[in-house]
Structure 1
Amino acid sequence: MSPRWHRPLLWFAAAMGLLTVVALVGLFTDDRQIVGSPAWLKPFKFAVSLGLYALTLAWLLKKAHRLRRTGWWAGTVVTVASLGEMVLIVLQAVRGRPSHFNNSTPFDETVWSLMGNLVMVLWTASLVVAVVIAVQRDGDPVVRSAARSGFALSLAGMAVAFLMTMPTDAQRAAIDAGTSNGFVGAHSVGVADGGPSMPVTGWSTTGGDLRIAHFVGIHALQALPLLALLLAGFVADQRVRLRLVRVAAAGYAGLIALLTWQALRGQPLLDPDRTTLLAAGALTVLVAAAAAAGTTVRRRELQST
């Protein structure tokens, strides 16, 4: 019997596709603002992101032959946790209330607490899926390596979100003074959430923004396997493709670290200082040199035989 796609994840991905359309309509017809952003922007972004994530997991689990039942149950838990997360995000959008970091009323606090617990369940279930993918031994080794690295980096990207839950200096001061507005945690660093931001993404243009590293990290699960598939069409030698994927994974890890470091220093993505630019340049040179070395070594191996 041929492997089947993980149906709960597929159904969830389809639902996110539908929600994406609904959220787009909301963006054009609902003029309400929540913390400086259109009310339906967060449901739109999360629907696209989680939909792609679910679709990728369904594809990877389709290729799993070892621990298939474990993978199916872990994928189902990812589906349920993701669905619960999206229901709460949409609920708060409909109510015109912030879904993240909001403890201003007992109901909002309950919603935010549930979301935090669901994220922990989602991360843990994703880790189980990552283990299932890691123990597979059949199929294209290049794609398999890309999937393993992509999963590890995706989990690291998810973990960046925990930095957002820490109270800012201003929030700590307000809590100590007894004047807190009920919000604990923020996306931005060095500035308040809701200020000037980039279109579509909503990332801050005046301070650091941890959502950037979070987003880039999560989607390593799509980027690295896609790179492996693209390389198959341009590079015939499997060893070279494997080396290039490993170099790309190392570079991707460096990019996540760089974006997190930049955000924690309160710098906007598009306004880096000299130190950040030097670090980015060094990372680029190292990745390019490692990629060139990987192909050169293979040429020498072929010439020596």
Structure 2
Amino acid sequence: MTILTDLRERTRTWHRGSYRFAQAFAVITVLCVLAMLIDQRTLNGAPLWAKPFKFAVSATLYFFTWSWLVSLLPKFRRTASWLANTLVVIFGAEYALVIFQAARVRASHFNNATPLDNTIFQVMGGMIAVLWMVNLVLTIAVMFTRIPDRATAWAARIGAILGMIGISLATLMSSPTPDQQALLDATGQSAMIGAHTVGLPDGGPGLPILGWSTVGGDLRIPHFLGLHGLQALPLLALALGVLAARYPRLRDDVLRLRLVVIAGVGYAGLLALLTWQALRGQSIVAPDSQTLTAFALLIAGVAFSGLIAIGRPAKDRELEASLR
């Protein structure tokens, strides 16, 4: 059996709409890379097609994951399938607006420069609100999903919660900055309302492709990290299952469960740390002593907890019963 044949067999029961959508965005990701190589124009200091590229990568990961998760739901499968299709339609429409604005060399987010720009961003805001609600309902459904492998089950649950937090963090970018508010108070108008950079205007120096600010706080970082907890935790559970074939200690499903829970708590801690750092207007590449100390304590706590989990008896019936 070839790798492709094996992949097709494994994904045969996945939700078709979101699975095909993820495949389409994998192709769009490649097209965006080609667009960045051919079209050298920039927008606010970043490659013009960088935002469509980032959205395409996120969409590929996001919809592949939900395609799998919806297939695991023992009940309300038809309702969950309808909700997943709703996510496909909403995100597809939002992405079309992102592409439309990129083709016009206009910012798609926070743009209040013209009536058309404002209308587009308001429509996108409404779409995001609906997407948030649908995502919340699906997350609640995942919380009650029973998966035979408990490490995978809890990885999916914790990852879905982290994903909801990540989506919700986008609201921190929607309020006017102090400068924008002052302009609104003085003139009643501002070309931009909202920003992802804290402490400085958007469009300054940033990391290649990602564009995350290297001179100020950037709320896109915790937004991105939280959103993709939905993939990180299940991938960890998968990796532990694969490693179990080589390391007998990992064949204990309770140990794998403990490690997934510890990783989930650590991931949530990192998400909180990066949000705190961004809100203080501090760049990801220039952490101060407070940030470094908090990060060191987080790493030490996760590592220490992991070592304790590995060193405990093979079966912990109390934990096993409480997490069923």
Is 2:267 the counterpart of 1:258? no
1:201 aligns with 2:216: no
- Report 1:236-275 matches (<5 A): 236-275=251-290
Superposition pairs of residues 147-296 of structure 1, within 5 angstroms: 147-178=156-187, 180-234=189-243, 235-296=250-311
Distance 1:15 1:191, change over 3 A: same
Q: Which of these residues, 49, 73, 77, is aligned with residue 82 of structure 2?
A: 73
CA distance in 2, matches of 1:166, 1:249: 30
- Aligned positions, number: 301
1:70 touches 1:132 (CA, 8 Å); kept in 2?
A: no
Consecutive aligned runs of 4 or more in structure 1 exceeding 4 Å deviation: 299-302
Residue in structure 1 matched with residue 98 of structure 2 by the alignment: 89
- What residue in structure 1 maps to residue 118 of structure 2? 109
1:12 Cα shift?
1.4
TM score, norm. by length of structure 2: 0.89
**TM norm structure 1:** 0.95
| 8 A Cα contact 2:36 2:47, kept in partner | yes
User: Shift in Å at residue 294 of structure 1?
Assistant: 1.6
Instruction: Deviation per CA, 1:152-211: give whole Å up to 9, x if none.
Output: 001101111100001111111111121744200001001111110111210000000000
Corresponding residue SS for 2:40: coil
Q: Structure 1 residue 5: deviation in Å?
A: 1.6
Residue number in structure 2 paired with 1:121: 130
Q: 1:59 aligns with which of 68, 86, 96?
A: 68
CA distance in 2, matches of 1:253, 1:180: 38
Identity %: 45
RMSD over aligned Cα, in angstroms? 1.6
Asked if structure 2 preserves the Cα contact closer than 8 Å seen for 1:3 and 1:63, the reply is no
* 1:236-290 C-alpha deviation (Å, 9 max, x unpaired): 1100000110011001000110000000001110100000001111111111111
Contact 1:154 1:220 in 2 (8 A): yes
Of residues 111-120 and 19-28 in structure 1, the stretch that sits farther from structure 2 once superposed is 19-28
C-alpha deviations, 1:17-67, integer Å up to 9, x for none? 222122112101112221111110000000010111001100111222222
The answer to whether the Cα contact below 8 Å between 1:66 and 1:135 also exists between their aligned partners in 2 is: no
- Residues 77-115 of structure 1, C-alpha deviation per residue, up to 9 Å, x if partnerless? 111111111111001001110000001111111110111
Contact kept, 8 Å, 2:112 with 2:192, in 1: the verdict is yes
Partner Cα separation in structure 1 for residue 102 and residue 130 of structure 2: 23
Q: Tell me, in whole angstroms, the C-alpha distance in 1 between the residues paired with 2:72 and 2:53.
A: 29
* Aligned residue number for residue 52 of structure 2: 43
Q: Do 2:18 and 2:67's aligned partners in 1 also have CA atoms closer than 8 Å?
A: yes
Unmatched runs of 5 consecutive residues or more in structure 1? none
| Unpaired segments ≥5 residues, structure 2 | 1-10, 244-249, 318-324
What letter corresponds to residue 311 of structure 2 in structure 1? T
Aligned mates of 1:204, 1:121 — CA distance in 2? 29
Q: What is the CA–CA distance in structure 2 between the aligned matches of 1:17 and 1:25, rounded to whole Å?
A: 13
Q: Is the Cα–Cα contact under 8 Å of residues 18 and 85 in structure 2 kept in the other structure?
A: yes
1:153–1:253 Cα contact (<8 Å) kept: yes
Could you tell me which of 24, 31, 34 is aligned with 1:22?
A: 31
- Residue type of the partner of 1:78? L
Q: CA deviation at 1:3?
A: 7.4
Q: Quickly say closer, same or farther: Cα 1:73–1:264, change in 2 above 3 A.
A: same
Give the stretch that moved more between structures: 173-182 or 36-45.
173-182
CA distance in 1, matches of 2:313, 2:105: 58
CA distance 1:300–1:141, shift in 2 (3 Å): closer
Return closer, same or farther for 1:11/1:301 CA change in 2, 3 Å cut-off: closer
